[in-house]
Amino acid sequence: MLHQGYKIMLNKTYEDEESKTAKERQNQTTLLPLLLMLGRSKSSTIWSPRKSNSNDFELAKSAFLLRKEKIEY
């Protein structure tokens, strides 16, 4: 009797782990297309290097340097 209960408990934990991985897989497959769409949207110029100007880079660089100076003081 004890042996059967232990076997059932093992099966239950295996099923729980299996369902967790299935849920994780499902989350990953739904999240990936959303991230791809985010990268392709026309309004966001930050995410795609093709659309970015050298001006954006200079702006980001100066902002980084300013923030670095503030932290040091």
- Whole-model pTM? 0.23
C-alpha to C-alpha distance for 51 and 38, rounded to whole angstroms = 14
| DSSP state letter for 48 | -
What is the reported pLDDT for 9?
59
**Predicted confidence (pLDDT) per residue in 5-30, tens digit:** 556 655 665 566 666 676 666 655 56
C-alpha to C-alpha distance for 63 and 61, rounded to whole angstroms = 5
